[in-house]
Amino acid sequence: MQGQAIQADFKQDSLHDAQMDYYGTRLATCSSDRSVKIFDVRNGGQILIADLRGHEGPVWQVAWAHPMYGNILASCSYDRKVIIWKEENGTWEKTHEHTGHDSSVNSVCWAPHDYGLILACGSSDGAISLLTYTGEGQWEVKKINNAHTIGCNAVSWAPAVVPGSLIDQPSGQKPNYIKKFASGGCDNLIKLWKEEEDGQWKEEQKLEAHSDWVRDVAWAPSIGLPTSTIASCSQDGRVFIWTCDDTSGNTWSPKLLHKFNDVVWHVSWSITANILAVSGGDNKVTLWKESVDGQWVCISDVNKGQGSVSASVTEGQQNEQ
Amino acid sequence: MKLKEVDRTAMQAWSPAQNHPIYLATGTSAQQLDATFSTSASLEIFELDLSDPSLDMKSCATFSSSHRYHKLIWGPHKMDSKGNASGVLIAGGENGNIILYDPSKIIAGDKEVVIAQNDKHTGPVRALDVNIFQTNLVASGANESEIYIWDLNNFATPMTPGAKTQPPEDISCVAWNRQVQHILASASPSGRATVWDLRKNEPIIKVSDHSNRMHCSGLAWHPDVATQMVLASEDDRLPVVQMWDLRFASSPLRVLENHARGILAIAWSMADPELLLSCGKDAKILCSNPNTGEVLYELPTNTQWCFDIQWCPRNPAVLSAASFDGRISVYSIMGGSADGLRQKQVDKLSSSFGNLDPFGTGQPLPPLQIPQQTAQHNIVLPLKKPPKWTRRPVGASFSFGGKLVTFENGRAQAQQGAEPPHHVFVSQVVTEEEFLQRSDQLQQVLRSQGFVSFCQKKIEASQTEFEKNVWSFLKVNFEDDSRGKYLELLGYRKEDLGKKIAVALSKVDGPNAALKDSDQVAQSDGEESPAAGEQLLGECIKEGKQESEFLPSAGGTFNISISGDIDGLITQALLTGNFESAVDLCLHDNRMADAIILAIAGGQELLAQTQKKYFAKSRSKITRLITAVVMKNWKEIVESCDLKNWREALAAVLTYAKPDEFSTLCDLLGTRLESEGDSLLQTQACLCYICAGNVEKLVACWTKAQDGSSPLSLQDLIEKVVILRKAVQLTQAMDTNTVGVLLAEKMSQYANLLAAQGSIAAALAFLPENTNQPNIAQLRDRLCKAQGQPIPGQESSKTPYDRQQLPKGRPGPVAGHTQMPRVPAQQCYPHGENPPPPGFIMHGNVNPNAATAQLPTSPGHMHTQVPPYPQPQRPQNGWNDPPALNRVSKKKKMPENFMPPVPITSPIMNPLGDPQSQMLPQQPSVPAPLSSQASFPQPHLAGGQTFHGIQQPLGQPGMPPSFSKPNIEGAPGAPIGNTIQHVQSLPTEKITKKPIPDEHLILKTTFEDLIQRCLSSATDPQTKRKLDDASKRLEFLYDKLREQTLSPAIISGLHNIARSIESRNYPEGLTIHTHIVSTSNFSETSAFMPVLKVVLTQANKLGV
């Protein structure tokens, strides 16, 4: 397998996020230069499709919506805005701008497509807003104020699967989707939010283990098992794996994956939820896998700059330049 | 925005960065008197609890002190690694004293909290700083140019950094360099700063602008650049912050003139060197970038001056400021709403004044017109530039296909402009080498059809007996005389048995030996159990009780007859032709052989009765088995045998069961085993399912017994499943494309795993085709797109998701909108709570016109409530549950008559509870009259990127129920699931189908004609349904004919079948059929050959 390096002109401004679309054929990046860029990376190529301008500050994150809604990308920025971009007839345009936050918007995450187009946004103003597309260009906004004091750093939706669906789902019973997401913030907490029957969002659970800002949370994709899993990482260098086995979803137990020496910025689950990629402040990316005995082991160091190649990761080779 | 406040006039110190939770210590200020002019003093510790939204800070401890303080710092000295509250609180007092407190003891409420105290200084100690490299070193400054360096480990005698500067002056600040541990700076109100080198023990440089107006109130080193520092001046005539670089010490590098009056304190953020706080007598708190001079942020403050300001070391967005109005406020520089603050003030007011009638005048106060300005300024903007700590420098995210997208920003992002461009790397992550290798092998086997040798290899490589058994059983499927071989596997080898019986009989005396030959066959089965050294149904004998009832009645007959010996009576009875009585008499006299012989003469009925009575009477251990053999009642054996004897039961079934009941019986036995608590027996159930060819149950059972979560154990399962499906397809001519829920789940899991390892092509190859299982259809679409290819293996290479531009896709109301969310505006997913499975496309022929007809229905609807797109819950709804156990009832529910498809005009109207939709619990997606075009009206499809997942509501009311019914259950032993799913994979472009080439048209007419003939002579509805379904599924064949994708061998074979149909020689047709199936590529023929066989078999049966 050939790795691939995409080199983009970012004018010395930092990149802050890079996300592939649903199919893994398009790459969206965002940067301190206020731009959002989209590349076609099929077959090892790297064609710049769009350079989206609209933010007035560094852009922190991008998120692709499920393709069933078209080609839609959300971006959030220090400029307090969330912009939703859409490809229409081959060109990308801004389709909606959400200005409901008073401070930097740090994280955006689309809900499972089963719920419709719903975007969760976490901001440094401590609030989390939920944008729901209601048709005809309208977005309904719900806001959770004071979700995390001094700021929410990350939001991540729970997969749209009722726990235990495979194991003990009485047939004929009305399936009950419960919309949930996790958020992490500067109050060192991870909070789990649940939509009540009246449509209001309520804090369901506080997960406490980190001793510093929670930088990222990632709810693992469902692989049909009854266990729910969340990974969290923090300024304190720790990465925790939280699991919940009971059907009520109330008992979460943390397991320390590792304590790093530096901030851990980002955690990302593989699609099959068996590998966790951890990105640390020392610019190192490590891959972790749960062993048979339930311990998390580092299976690889991905160290781009030095081109180290581990047994299991095929390193991207820098192209011509 | 303001986070917290405490009403204290005090100096403040944050707990060190290591400390968690965050504490703020306050010590009564010596310089400022609070409003009460109280001279008492205290040291307090507050906890910063950000999860509490109120403005109050929780006081953890108060220590009444005899000192008031000029300076308070909190050092991490001797702090344990866990960062428990500890360290040292160092206070500068009024009278030359430095006091060390133990904060953990203060928090614990101890009386003895002072670690040490020293009064060596002269005058108030205004300056203190802890060396960040050696936290036991503390510098202090006081009057008379006194600077001491204290070692906290040896507090008694301080050192000096060098000779005192002259003239003597007060030291207002000391600061350790942030990069070089032996460099210290001090400053005095006179405006001079001195830099000391402790190694040389002397001042190395003096910094002054010689303006005489520089009255240093603050001094701070650059967090990153060793040679830079800032000085703040409290002189109103020169209210500046000067940035100095010691390499150019003649004049300030930069002067920040942002304050209107003198600056009282500064603080440089350790987390971001571009953030310098300053507060001044202009009552402002500013955050500036000292490297550019730009003001980034002005804190919203009251009009009071602040005399002390501190960054929180642990939480870089938090700072505290102490003001002369007797308050310490904690702020965030990240902006946000200030509503909390206002609320507190309002609360205070109302608590002071009481409600509405504060003065007891009897008249409530008029409502206050709150000036609008306060309301509109609630929002506090954040810093103009994002602080360093919010800028994510690195990230790695997984994407589909096991790709990892990583980026990083140059680690040395420092100054040099020659920074390389940033890269985003896409790497392939492969973690399951063995899994991939095995998967690859399996694929090769499928390609080469080398099943037997594959099984053999597996048998040889098996680690466990069970594994070996499973593979042996699987292997047998591909061999001749599979039942016999199964028996052998169960330990019943015919030859061996014959020998054993010979031995047993030879022990009997001579005359009997003559019977040996004739008895052998009859007995062999009966003696299997003993031969195997086991008892069959030993426990069941107790049922014998019931039979005793026969005896009295038999005796009754006997009693009526006249006395005499039994022989005489029998004779009489026989003479009168009364066989029944004669037999009874014989039985009564225990003359079994006589009784049976007489019964044979007395006819079938009597024989059966007699057999019954015999069995009732006989109590041998093997009676039940013999009973079953004679009565052919295998169901009972299977249902009631001791499960320890499952092996024998299975053997019996293998030997005796008729083909049509064989699978059912195996299933039944498997189900019993599976439901048993014994895990060993549970696993054995797998063997039964293999015999039965029941893939779905095998999956279920296997999954239950094995840990299926790891890739390799999934591989274990998939290998078996794939082989078994292959076998079933070969031997039973079932439609193996039917995929049950569980199997679909496993297969998609498997494909997902392959995809996650980057083997997208392999994943596609293993993904079952022609299924309407939503997860599979979705995955297929995703895999194809990921590969950048159209979906292979489908006629005309169309994907199940329509990619065309759909002019009609935009219902009027939406068409005008240029705003994006046009998507949902189309009624693509308005399926109410019965959303369809994705990737489902209806049969193009069903009702091509319906599509357009429907389009305008429910235009412009997007439902927030209605989850569009594949609803995972569908399966839970039972629509596709394995029907195995409640077949009958489901059948009954099926409407018998075909109803034409009813357009789904407004699916939203159909709540989940719709009775009709529930009546069709297993209905898979059924062709519905919405063309996929209609349902996916993305206007901009040029790029073909849009996802056209789901069009079909399934189980929708109004669907033609008869479509869905056929074969839902399949034959016993066949994988259970929907057979209709083929329908949906027909490309929508069917509307413009090519004609079938003339030379092959005969095939279509022949087959259709045959089905018609069968239909007209078939009587039972089930057969009709089967035929109906067959007719539909033969469309696959016709499509292939249209596409001309069939190999010549198959074509000619089909023509041969057609010819034999013409001549009504169906057995010959079936033979040809078998030949085609066994010689052709499975995937090529799997869509229609099984159904063709069904038709031929039916035709043969019906004799049409």
Chain B residue with the nearest C-alpha to that of A222: B749
Please state whether B9 falls in left (phi above 0), alpha (psi between -120 and 50) or beta: beta
Instruction: Dump the DSSP string for B561-624.
Output: SPSS-HHHHHHHHHHTT-HHHHHHHHHHTT-HHHHHHHHHHT-HHHHHHHHHHHHHH---TTHH
User: In the structure, what pLDDT confidence band is assigned to residue B879 with cuts at 50, 70 and 90?
Assistant: very low
Q: How close is the nearest chain B Cα to the Cα of A280, in Å?
A: 7
Q: Do A22 and B947 touch (CB under 8 A)?
A: yes
Q: Which helix (H) or strand (E) holds A131?
A: strand A128-135
A306 at B interface, C-beta within 8 A = no
Q: Average pLDDT in the B66-92 region?
A: 80
Check CB contact under 8 Å for B824 and A7. Answer: no
Q: Using the beta-carbon criterion (under 8 Å), do B386 and A1 form an inter-chain contact?
A: no
Which pair of tokens denotes residue A188? 């060192």
Give the type of residue at B191: G
Please judge whether A172 and B918 are an interchain contact, meaning their C-beta atoms are less than 8 angstroms apart: yes
* ω into B921 cis (within 30 of 0): no
Mutant choice from B55, B406, B893 vs A, greatest count of A C-beta within 10 A: B406
Task: Tell the residue number behind the tokens 């949370």, with chain if given.
Answer: A217
Query: Any alpha helices (H) in B477-560, and if so which ranges?
Result: 482-489, 494-506, 510-513, 516-526, 528-531, 544-547, 550-560
Least reliable range by pLDDT among B45-49, B416-420, B822-826: B822-826
pLDDT per position as a tens digit, B96-122: 889 999 888 888 888 888 888 888 888
Within an 8 Å CB–CB cutoff, is residue A157 touching chain B? no
Amino acid letter for position B837: P
E strands in B740-830:
none
Res B130 pLDDT > 50 = yes
User: Minimal Cα distance from A124: which residue of B?
Assistant: B334
* Smallest CA–CA distance from A72 into chain B, residue: B820
Cβ contact, residue pair B864, A133, below 8 Å: yes
| Shortest CA distance from A123: residue in chain B | B336
B200-249: per-residue pLDDT in tens?
Answer: 888 888 888 777 778 888 999 999 999 999 999 988 888 999 999 988 88
What Rg do the C-alpha atoms of chain A give, in angstroms?
19
Please state, as a whole number, how many other Cβ atoms lie within 10 Å of the Cβ of residue B411: 13
pLDDT classification of A54: cutoffs 50, 70, 90: very high
Collect all residues with Cβ–Cβ distance below 8 Å to B260 and sequence separation of at least 6: B239, B280, B282, B284
The token duo for B244 is 């100095």
Q: Does the structure show a pLDDT above 60 at B794? A: no
Q: Which residues of B touch A41 (CB under 8 A)?
A: 426
Contact of A303 with chain B, judged by CB distance below 8 Å, is answered with: no
Testing the interface with B: which of A4, A9, A15 to mutate, by most B Cβ within 10 A?
Answer: A15
Mean pLDDT of chain A: 83
Q: Between B711 and A120, whose confidence is greater? A: A120
Nearest by Cα to B1036 from B1047, B1046, B1026, B1023: B1046
Q: Under an 8 A CB cutoff, do A272 and B50 touch?
A: no
The H or E element spanning position A269 is strand A264-269
Higher pLDDT, B1027 or B676: B1027
- For residue range B487-541, list pLDDT tens digits in order: 777 766 666 666 776 776 666 444 444 444 444 444 444 444 333 333 333 333 3
In this predicted structure, what is the pLDDT of residue A217? 96
Range with the poorest average pLDDT among B114-128, B154-168, B623-637, B652-666: B623-637
Confirm or reject contact between A199 and chain B (CB < 8 A): no
**B388, B398, B759: best mutation site toward chain A, by most A Cβ within 10 Å?**
B398
**Three-state secondary-structure class, residue B778:** helix
Beta bridge partners of B265: B279
| B821 contacts A313? CB cut-off 8 A | no
Is the CA virtual torsion B890, B895, B900, B904 positive or negative?
Answer: negative
Retrieve residue B558's tokens. 């006997």
What is the average pLDDT across B343-351?
53
First and final C-alpha spacing in chain B: 88
Taking one residue from A and the other from B, the number of pairs with CB-CB distance under 8 angstroms is: 412
Global pTM reads 0.65
Structure letter (DSSP) for residue B950: B
To probe the interface with B, which of A23, A109, A178, A198 has the most B CB atoms within 10 Å?
A: A23
- Stretch B844-865: mean pLDDT: 37
Contact between A266 and A184 under an 8 Å Cβ cutoff? The reply is no
Kindly state the DSSP code that residue B283 receives in the 8-state scheme.
S
Instruction: Single out the residue of A99, A122, A239 nearest to residue A185, CA to CA.
Output: A122
Distance CA B828, CA B837 (A): 13
**CB B318 within 8 Å of CB B48:** yes
Note whether B400 contacts A24, CB cutoff 8 Å: yes
pLDDT surpasses 90 at B50: no
Neighbour-count burial of B31, counting CB atoms closer than 10 A to its CB (0-12 exposed, 13-18 middle, 19+ buried)? middle
List, as one string, the DSSP characters of B678-710. Answer: -HHHHHHHHHHHHHHT-HHHHHHHHHHHS---S
Rounded Cα distance, A197 and A319, in Å: 53
Do A88 and B943 lie within an 8 Å CB cutoff? no
Strands A201-208 and B263-268: unpaired
Longest Cα–Cα distance of chain A, Å, equals 60
* Interface residue A294 vs chain B (CB under 8 A): no
Residue B909 confidence (pLDDT): 40
Q: Which amino acid is at B513?
A: A
Q: Answer yes or no: is pLDDT of A310 > 90.
A: no
Q: Is the pLDDT of residue B906 over 50?
A: no
CA angle B398, A139, A51 (to 5 degrees): 50
Average pLDDT over residues B554-573: 55
Q: Residue A314 above 80 pLDDT?
A: no
What's the mean pLDDT in B330-339?
Answer: 74
Provide, as residue numbers in chain A, all residues whose Cβ is less than 8 Å from the Cβ of B785.
22-23, 25
- Report how far apart, in Å, the C-alpha atoms of B993 and of each of B18, B793, B981, B986, B1000 are: 73, 17, 20, 11, 15
What is the band of B326 on the pLDDT scale with cuts at 50, 70, 90?
confident
Q: Which pLDDT belongs to residue A8?
A: 52
Q: How many Cα atoms within 13 Å fall on the side-chain side of residue B770?
A: 24
Residue in A165, A187, A289 closest to B876 by CB: A165
Q: Is A279 on the interface with B (CB under 8 A)?
A: yes
Mean per-residue pLDDT, B793-818: 35
Beta bridge partners of B297: B287
Tell me whether strands B254-256 and B263-268 are parallel, antiparallel or unpaired.
unpaired
Is residue B508 classed exposed, middle or buried when 0-12, 13-18 and 19+ CB atoms within 10 A define those classes? exposed
Alpha carbon B139 to chain centroid, angstroms: 57
Asked whether residue B543 carries a pLDDT value surpassing 80, the answer given is no
Mean pLDDT lowest among A6-10, B637-641, B970-974, B1007-1011? B970-974
* Confidence (pLDDT) at B518: 40
- Using a CB-CB distance cutoff of 8 angstroms, which residues of chain B are in contact with residue A23? 400, 782, 785-786
Of A271, A282, A292, A300, which to mutate for an interface test with B (greatest number of B Cβ within 10 Å)?
A271
* Residue tagged 């649903």 (tokens): A22
Whether residues B405 and A27 touch (CB distance < 8 A) is answered with: yes
- Report the relative pairing of strands B394-399 and B403-408 from DSSP bridges: antiparallel
Q: B911 — phi, psi (to 5°)? A: -70, 165
Inter-chain CB proximity A87 and B943 less than 8 Å: yes
DSSP A169-204: --TTSPP----EEEEEETTSEEEEEEE-TTS-EEEE
Distance CA B873, CA A160 (A): 9
Q: Is the CB of residue A224 less than 8 Å away from at least one CB of chain B?
A: yes
Q: Indicate if the pLDDT at residue A46 is higher than 50.
A: yes
Per-residue b/e over B109-120, b at no fewer than 16 CB within 10 Å? eeeebbbeebeb
